[in-house]
Amino acid sequence: MVNVNGEEPTEIDKEELEQPRDAQEDIRRIPPWTKQITVRGIIASIAIGIIYSVIVMKLNLSTGLVPNLNVSAALLAFVFIGTWTKLLQKAGFTSTPFTRQENTIIQTCAVACYSIAVGGGFGSYLLGLNKRTYEQAGIDTEGNTPGSHKEPGIGWMTGFLFVSSFVGLLALVPLRKIMIIDYKLTYPSGTATAVLINGFHTPHGDKIAKKQVHGFIKFFSYSFLWSFFQWFYSGGGQCGFAQFPTFGMKAWRQTFYFDFSMTYVGAGMICSHLVNLSLLFGAILSWGLMWPLISHQKGHWFPATLSQSSMKSLNGYKVFISISLILGDGLYNFVKILFFTATSIISRLNKRVDSNTDSNKNKNQALDDLQRNEVFLRDGIPIWLACVGYIVFSVVSIAVIPLMFPELKWYYVVVAYILAPSLGFCNAYGAGLTDMNMAYNYGKAALFVLAALSGKDSGVVAGLVGCGLIKSIVSISSDLMHDFKTGHLTLTSPRSMLVSQAIGTAIGCVVAPLSFFLFYKAFDVGNPEGEYKAPYAVIYRNMAILGVEGFSALPHHCLQLCFGFFGFAIAANLVRDLCPSRIGKWIPLPMAMAVPFLVGAYFAIDMCMGSFVVFVWHKMNSKKASLMLPAVASGLICGDGMWILPASMLALAKVNPPICMNFLAT
């Protein structure tokens, strides 16, 4: 196993003296980059990518909150190939050994695949173009121009993803050595994944992995069977365990109930306690306090005759206050990351390194680094290839996107692709320092700028599409650097990493629209009262309208409330960063608070239940909890997510559950 921490050992014994020779043997045993990508690996990647695409699509369309599933994808890759190898052995066939390089390639390809479902805009900017979201934003709203909508279609969505996603793959490839080797950026998520994969492929790690696999399969089965059982009682609009009035009917009407969703319990086990408590705080503040108070102002603040879904009624307050929290939090973190990026770059430029002193420090770490760097640089990616590829994909995108969306002029796309590498570098550098991917904030900035520049007739569509372009480039280039960091630590060739990322992206461009239409055709997507509310579609469309019309789009007294919550978001971040950790750790996250403002409180309760399980488990057996939590949480999420496939097939076949379990006030 590679010494990731690079700590100098305190004792020197025979085993440690032989480490350099063993490490050199490990390097010689590394298969060439063409052998690291295998047929079984691609099949496993497709399977994992499809499963996770369906899961994250459900999360996207229900709440818009998606936890980081990269570590569980690495675990699932180990499960797939381990099962594959055992089946072949029982059948009397021999198979090639499963290496950490192949594990890394599968994880990279699978993550690239389902990342398209996460960041492709299916629950935000692309869905914000459809007619239903256009109507929810108010057909009489200034700036929401009649005809400024485009219905989802597999054809144009797939084409848009292909022309917008591949540009980001090549934007920062020439800078990979600078980011990974010269600057030694940590990329915490990429490092954590590498540590997990390296741990799997050791004798001790293999035993641990077997325990995790057993736990994953057990809780996957429980979750799948529980979802199957719940289906029988959901034969109506508000039926089943998902509408169980846990705290009474009055609380249920304000969305305070536990809906028995194993997906969100598992997500709560993965997310930090602060995220989950911030969600609950936002739910109590909005649905427990603000919305009931604003509802009593019907007839004063807004006409009593307006429908509840109108942007000039209560729904407008929900949407725009959510936007103010998101923008305040995003702006603060955007400026903070830019500041840290700029100061870090300046300090590196001004720093004078004494090479003789460096060579005498931590020789074992230096040798370890040299070996990793040797592998990382051995299979170089020609700079000319990356530059030519970027130009070719950009030209194709510049030609195709204005044909798809005439509202977005070709010269705006040209400017976007000229600026994209520098924006991608800032985001990737910041992500390497802090593990925060700020791509959505770059996209929101592009949304407001393009909406304002394009005018009233074209602003909404141009803003939403331009947001997608910038966000895709900046996000994918940052994700690739995370993957390069994982490959650097697992001694995986960057060529095979780039190829697997490209394969995963191509698969994702096909799988993501199909998984979206699985929900779009089988369920009532976009219904504010339904399970799949797609809250960010309304939020992004109203951001575009705000960019076109300014504050005239806001309902009565909403501007003052928005300013208040915008200021609260900035103040909360300042207090968290400037105060001692014992105080800062209790300050809620405004971005997390904003989600239940529009969605409801039920999923925040699910997430807090997951947090409660983690807390109790750590109190009872902290070591076992640390070992098994990722596997158990992944099993709960995947089991519930897998039930979506048969459930959607039954819905498309018009097969309804036989029982409606409903609760009525007495």
Rounded CA gap, 139 and 144, in Å? 7
Cα 485 to chain centroid distance, Å, stands at 18
Q: Is the pLDDT of residue 1 over 50?
A: no
| Phi, psi at 169, each rounded to 5° | -65, -30
Top pLDDT among 203 and 140 is at 140
Query: Per residue in 118-151, pLDDT tens?
Result: 989 999 999 999 999 999 888 878 888 888 999 9
- pTM over 0.85, yes/no: no
Q: Work out the percent of the chain whose per-residue pLDDT is above 70.
A: 92
Q: Is the pLDDT of residue 309 over 60?
A: yes
Tokens of 144: 């929401």
The residues, any chain, with a CB within 8 Å of residue 500's CB and separated by 6 or more, are 37, 45, 105, 106, 108, 109, 112
Q: What is the pLDDT of residue 362?
A: 47
Q: What is the pLDDT of residue 13?
A: 39
Q: What is the pLDDT of residue 18?
A: 38
Least confident among 390-394, 543-547, 661-665: 661-665
- What's the rounded mean pLDDT across residues 381-401? 91
Is residue 279 within 8 A of residue 608, CB to CB? The reply is yes
Q: What is the pLDDT of residue 423?
A: 82
Is residue 107 within 8 A of residue 197, CB to CB? The reply is yes
- What's the rounded mean pLDDT across residues 564-578? 92
Least confident among 197-206, 580-589, 649-658: 197-206
Query: Per residue in 539-566, pLDDT tens?
Result: 999 889 888 887 776 778 888 999 999 9
Runs of H (alpha helix) within 91-232? 100-119, 131-136, 154-171, 176-177, 188-200, 203-231
Q: Is the pLDDT of residue 12 over 60?
A: no
Q: Is the pLDDT of residue 68 over 80?
A: no
Tokens of 81: 């190939």
Is residue 632 within 8 A of residue 100, CB to CB? The reply is no
The residues, any chain, with a CB within 8 Å of residue 501's CB and separated by 6 or more, are 108, 109, 112, 169, 479, 480, 483
Q: Work out the percent of the chain whose per-residue pLDDT is above 90.
A: 34
- What's the rounded mean pLDDT across residues 638-657? 85
Tokens of 374: 């040797």
Residue 347, exposed/middle/buried by CB under 10 A (0-12, 13-18, 19+)? exposed
Top pLDDT among 251 and 372 is at 251
Other C-beta atoms closer than 10 Å to the C-beta of 129 total 24
Q: Tokens 């909150």, residue?
A: 65
CA max distance for the chain = 84
- How big is the chain, counted in residues? 666
- What's the rounded mean pLDDT across residues 569-588? 89
> Which of 30, 190, 56, 217 is CA-nearest to residue 122?
56
Q: Is the pLDDT of residue 351 over 80?
A: no
- What's the rounded mean pLDDT across residues 276-284? 93
The overall average pLDDT reported for the chain is: 84
| Phi, psi at 245, each rounded to 5° | -80, 75
Per-residue pLDDT band at 80 (split at 50, 70, 90): confident
Strand extents, DSSP E, 461-556: none
Task: Output the CA–CA distances (angstroms, integers) from residue 573 to 335, 436, 567, 587, in the order listed.
Answer: 12, 14, 10, 8
Q: What is the pLDDT of residue 367?
A: 58
Task: Output the CA–CA distances (angstroms, integers) from residue 130 to 163, 323, 405, 519, in the order listed.
Answer: 20, 20, 13, 15
- Three-state DSSP state, 436: coil
Least confident among 362-376, 488-502, 512-526, 576-590: 362-376
Query: Per residue in 146-191, pLDDT tens?
Result: 889 999 999 999 999 999 999 888 888 888 888 888 778 788 788 8
Q: Tokens 């044909």, residue?
A: 403
Q: Tokens 């950790």, residue?
A: 581
Query: Per residue in 405-430, pLDDT tens?
Result: 999 999 999 998 998 888 888 888 87
User: Of all residues in the chain, what percent are helix, strand and coil, respectively (each to 5)?
Assistant: 75, 0, 25
Per-residue pLDDT band at 205 (split at 50, 70, 90): low
Rounded CA gap, 255 and 201, in Å? 46
Question: b/e string for 593-604 if b means 16 or more Cβ within 10 A?
Answer: bbbbbbbbbbbb
Angle at 272 between CA 271 and CA 275, to 5 degrees: 85
Q: Specify which residues 298 forms β-bridges with.
A: 302
Rounded CA gap, 445 and 237, in Å? 39
Q: What is the pLDDT of residue 180?
A: 85
> Which of 220, 297, 229 is CA-nearest to residue 260?
229
